[in-house]
Chains A and B, each alone.
Chain A
Amino acid sequence: GESVGLHLPTLSVQEGDNSIINCAYSNSASDYFIWYKQESGKGPQFIIDIRSNMDKRQGQRVTVLLNKTVKHLSLQIAATQPGDSAVYFCAETKKTSYDKVIFGPGTSLSVIP
C-alpha cells in the first residue's frame, strides 16, 4: 500500500544550527513531494516542494533533497530559528491524482534558544 513515514519523531536543535528532517516513502509511483510545517493550533503550511525529476531544490533557508534510489526525502533548515519550532510533514502525490496528498506522520522540531 501507499505510505510515507519519518525516521525521527522528535528533533531538538540549538538555535543557529542546521536541522535535517528525514522522510521515507514507499510508493514508487509518487512523483511529487511536499514539505509542510504545522504550528500548534494551525493548519499545515506549504514550505517547499520537489518533483521526481529533480534531486535538490532550494528555498529561503530550506533545501529539499530527493533520493529516488532509496526512496528518501530530507528537509534541511539552515540557521534554525525559534520560529521554526513546529511539526514537519513530508507528503507525496502522484501524477494520476495530484489532488490526493498523502501525508507522513510528522517530526516535531524544537529549537533551543
Chain B
Amino acid sequence: DTGVSQDPRHKITKRGQNVTFRCDPISEHNRLYWYRQTLGQGPEFLTYFQNEAQLEKSRLLSDRFSAERPKGSFSTLEIQRTEQGDSAMYLCASSLSQGAGTEAFFGQGTRLTVV
C-alpha cells in the first residue's frame, strides 16, 4: 500500500454514461497526477495539480474529461458521455514537491470498462 487510494477499483458503465473517479493522495503531498494506462502500454500523462491549481493538461484530455482538486487534497476525474475508447486503467499519483528526483507514489488505479 503506497498510501494513495483510488475509488472505485473497477467500474463498468454503458457507453454514453458519465463516470467519476476519486483519488486520495498521501496527505502531505501537494502534487497530484492523473494518468491513463491501456493494456500493454505505459501510463499516459493526463493532468496534474499543485495544491488546488490544475497546472497542465495533456492533449489526451478531451472536453469530455474534467479533473478537479477543490481543496488541494482529494481529486476527482470525471468522464462525460463515455466511449468504448475510454476503457482503460486510470492511475493517480502524488508527490511532495516539484522537480526531478521527486518520487511519485501511485495508487492501484481504477479500471474502467465501457460496454
Contacts and interface: CB of A to CB of B under 8 A. Distances in A.
A93 B45 CA distance: 11
Contacts of B58: 100
A61 interface: no
B100 A49 contact: yes
A101 B106 contact: no
Contacts of A95: 100
A98 B103 CA distance: 11
A82 to B, nearest CB: 21
B64 to A, nearest CB: 21
Interface residues of A, number: 25
B98 A43 contact: no
A103 B44 contact: yes
Contacts of B99: 98
Nearest to A90: B42
Given A99-B33, A99-B55, A103-B43, A41 B100 contact: no
B93 interface: yes
A104 B45 CA distance: 12
Contact of B100 (A31, A43, A89): A31
Contact of B106 (A41, A44, A51): A44
A101 B40 contact: no
Contacts of B55: 99
A25 to B, nearest CB: 12
Nearest to B33: A99
B108 to A, nearest CB: 6
Interface of B: 2, 4, 31, 33, 40-45, 48, 55-56, 58, 91, 93, 98-109
